[in-house]
Chains A and B, each alone.
Chain A
Amino acid sequence: MKKTKINNTLSSSFRDPSGFLFYRNGFLYRQINIGYKDNYDLLMESGLYGALVKDGLLIPHKETSDQKIENKNVYKIIKPEVINFVSYPYEWCFSQLKNAALVTLAIQKKSLEFGMSLKDANAYNIQFKDGRPLLIDTLSFEKYQEGKPWIAYKQFCQHFLAPLALMSYKDIRFNKLLQIYLDGIPLDLASSLLPRKAYYKISLLSHIKFHAKSQQHFSDRKINMNKHRMSRLSLQGLIDNLENSIKGLKWQPVGTEWADYYEETNYSGASMQHKKQIVDKFLEKIKPKNLWDLGANTGAFSQIAADKGISTISFDIDPAVVEKNYLRCVKQGEKNILPLIIDLTNPSPSIGWENKERLSLPERGPADAVLALALIHHLSISNNLPFNKIAHFFNKICNYLIIEFIPKNDSQIQKLLLNREDIFTDYTQQDFEREFNKYFIIQKSIEINDSKRSLYLMQKKDANS
């Protein structure tokens, strides 16, 4: 047995003293500290772990003893199953956050059945695996103490209920507030932002408005909580009420910029079919391990990759199309697509403690392949990004690039230039090829039938070449 010092601890894994995550030899492990022994044993022996894994609510793991760790705190080392891509709540659409909330409550209900309770309700502990949300923190459980209120109630309201209520009642873009407030949206803020009609619902009135008032009132007072008890029935009632509140929050993905894109596009049926065939052919050639579809809309092209078993992330800026894509994937039981909201001109940054807790988009890459269809003109013309900058960014995030070039006389570009001066003298196919050629080897380019657009297959140039 080899003894190793742990020095590759995950930068997001430090708050809970029950243990931490670390990488060794390219594999992810979780150390369970001695202090968490009783709770871990109860999780495993009570049958709760088995029940949650069976229902797909908790990440499965294996206990490992192949390497001893030089650490006096260690009780056990476990090896959890791998999550292909770690996503964050501020990148999720409405139904992704809603389903993550419902999974958290389902786990809490199940935990109570087995004499345990969730000690946190952190949205970052939920990740999507094979298209479904599940808890990835095996150390989130503690023995249920009869009479004790739910310790994670505040966190649940901040991480799930408040953002969902804001997205539902005020504006769908409020999911981005989660990027500013890492421990969820402060309830006094949510309370002041929500419109009056939200408070016609007694659950939102109590869990958000009264809750915020209570926090404010007791913020500097010491109270003995041991003296008063919350019965198990009341706790079950609280979880049941939260579940109904979450289920009652709705949002319809209509009316945004891209929601009806495929209906409005100027592609003929034949050229769309040809475009799909070319993408299919390119994917067959490069056989990528994973793919990022940038500007994926509702995921028509992501589906081509997913059907080949390629793990695909469908990024789009529009919450409505991401919502549509996610609901479609849920309906079809699609396991290979994860739709996410990303603004490519301002992708998720690295944030949190030392700016290392939550990773930026490029830090979670590179992807083996990137698909950038009907995107270049939006970056170049709508956002004034020179080809060189676009090529440089793509070079950082992928090994292979499948990209569509749209010439200036295309009707979509003419629309973009309708009310502005054409200052884009460098927007030509020659300029495009020259600039991308600095970072990529152009392997193939094919003109799409019945259109003036072209699809390119490019391979990243070796950094040393």
Chain B
Amino acid sequence: MNLLKKLVAIVLMLLALPHNSYAYLDPGTGSYIIQLIMAVFLGGIFALKIFWKQIKIFFVKIFSKNQFNEKNKN
């Protein structure tokens, strides 16, 4: 729980001015802030996930190309 308190304190220091929103749904201040806290990690993880997918696709393509070439040779 100490970790959460520290994170909350950091975000509190970052944010100062009043909140304005015109939407009909109240997003909830706490719900906005927890998203911002998680954003850093989740964005990073998602970027890695996309990057990993690209690598996989790259190798799958090379592998299937090699297989295709070998089949044609045979």
Contact = CB atoms under 8 A, between A and B. Distances in A.
Interface string B7-41: 01000001111111101110111111111111111
A219 B21 contact: no
Interface string A228-246: 1011011111101100000
Given A142-B23, A151-B23, A224-B16, A230 B33 contact: no
Interface string A127-171: 000000000000000100000011111110100000000000000
Given A149-B27, A210-B4, A214-B8, A237 B42 contact: yes
A347 B60 CA distance: 55
Given A224-B16, A241-B45, A153 B33 contact: no
A153 B8 contact: no
Given A225-B19, A226-B20, A233-B47, A241 B42 contact: yes
A235 B35 CA distance: 8
A227 interface: yes
A382 interface: no
A210 to B, nearest CB: 6
B25 A155 contact: yes
Given A151-B25, A151-B27, A223-B19, A240 B42 contact: yes
Interface residues of A, number: 43
A206 B42 CA distance: 11
A215 interface: yes
Classify the secondary structure of B's interface with A: helix
Nearest to A156: B31
A149 B49 CA distance: 21
A215 B28 CA distance: 7
A224 B19 contact: yes
Contacts of B4: 210, 213-214
A217 interface: yes
Contacts of A230: 35-36, 39
A152 B25 contact: yes
> Which 6 pairs of residues, A with B, have the shortest CB-CB distance?
A224-B17, A237-B46, A237-B42, A234-B43, A215-B30, A234-B39
27 contacts: A119-B23, A120-B25, A149-B36, A151-B21, A153-B32, A206-B34, A210-B4, A211-B30, A211-B34, A213-B8, A214-B34, A216-B30, A217-B8, A218-B33, A219-B30, A223-B15, A223-B16, A223-B33, A227-B17, A228-B14, A230-B36, A231-B43, A237-B42, A237-B45, A237-B46, A238-B38, A241-B38
Interface of B: 1, 4, 8, 14-21, 23-25, 27-47, 49
Given A120-B25, A154-B28, 5 more contacts: A149-B35, A150-B35, A210-B34, A241-B38, A241-B46
Interface of A: 15-18, 119-120, 142, 149-155, 157, 206, 210-211, 213-219, 221-228, 230-231, 233-238, 240-241
